[in-house]
Amino acid sequence: MDTLIFATNNENKVREIRHALNNQFHIISLKEAGILVDIPEPHDTLEDNAREKSLVIHQLTGKDCFSEDTGLEVEALDGAPGVLSARYAGPEQDASKNMEKLLSALEGITNRKARFRTVISLIYHGKEYQFEGICPGVILDKKQGEQGFGYDPLFIPDGAGKSFADMSMEEKNTYSHRKKATAKLAEFLMTRHGKN
């Protein structure tokens, strides 16, 4: 079975991709690969940050690997917080402070259009491939719901009528940016591997 390193230590993300790949690939996290480096995200696009992460892991291991980067892009803020989504209100990566900062930035603004965007960078047999997943929606003017993480309480995906934080994981996955990018990665790998 082919082994691929996923440049993350987030167990939920690892489980999700194993599931999407029908357990036909051996997916291991950084920790499971024995890699303890803190990978920087120095660039100003999701594409460049994702590429940097998978290149670093590929250079360290010589193995096939992939990484992902996600941002919330708000139309009225010219795409901010974007690549800075995790650190919007400071390096401590505090979700509540990030949401407060977003609400202040949008005070009095009627255009609430936004989207989550995920970019996956895969290095497979020495070549890089990218897969994108987009979830369009709107930013609320106050938090709604208790589930999820990050900006979930402030984001209603188009067609949903409720925030990500008011959804079960299964329901969120029917809209999710990350799920869409993951599905494209899975399709690519299964096709390449003759397992479709």
Binding site for ligand IMP (CB under 6 A): 69-72, 85-86, 98, 116, 148-152, 164
From the list 64, 69, 152, 166, the catalytic residue is 69
Tell the smallest beta-carbon distance from residue 116 to ligand IMP (Å): 6
CA distance 118 to 46: 8
Of the pair 174, 190, the CB lying nearest ligand IMP is at 174
Tell the smallest beta-carbon distance from residue 3 to ligand IMP (Å): 23
| Catalytic residue status for 69 | yes
Of the pair 2, 171, the CB lying nearest ligand IMP is at 171
Q: Which residue number has the CB closest to ligand IMP?
A: 150
H-only helix segments in the chain: 11-20, 46-61, 95-105, 169-173, 177-192
Beta-carbon neighbour count of residue 65 at 10 Å? 27
Q: What are phi and psi of 156, to 5 degrees?
A: -110, 115
- The residues carrying an active-site annotation are 69
